[in-house]
Amino acid sequence: MSVNMYDAAYDLEKAVRQSQEFADLHKAYEDVEQDAAAQGIFQNFRNIQMQLQQKQMTGQPITDEEVQQAQKAAALAQQNQKIGKLLEVEQRMSMVITELNRIIMKPLEEIYGALEK
């Protein structure tokens, strides 16, 4: 029996979109987007995160000043109730995706795990 992996992937996408975690994430994101102050704080926080990730991926050093700026942005973001909620539901969604990835990768782990023995 042959299974079309792409069909299964699209079914998984549909399941993610229909999940409570996704609904919670979507609502929390909309709540932030509808609050101009929260939106500005969140965008600044995300921009700083992205800049630091880009530097890490390209092997560039991150300065103490950049670390302090990121810490201040994170503290400010977490003080906002709407952003705090968004970060919380993002974390839950991330845990779901990590678990799904673990399940998807299991066949490969079985192959390569056998090679390590």
DSSP annotation string for 24-89: HHHHHHHHHHT-HHHHHHHHHHHHHHHHHHHHHHTT----HHHHHHHHHHHHHHHHSHHHHHHHHH
Tokens, residue 38: 């929260």
Domains along the chain with CATH numbers: 5-116 (1.20.1500.10)
Identify the pLDDT of residue 29: 98
Identify the pLDDT of residue 113: 84
Segments of the chain scoring below 70 in pLDDT: 1, 114-117
Identify the pLDDT of residue 38: 97
Identify the pLDDT of residue 3: 76
Which residue type, as a one-letter code, is found at position 18? Q
The C-alpha atoms of residue 57 and residue 54 are separated, in whole angstroms, by: 5
Identify the pLDDT of residue 116: 64
Identify the pLDDT of residue 99: 97
Identify the pLDDT of residue 114: 66
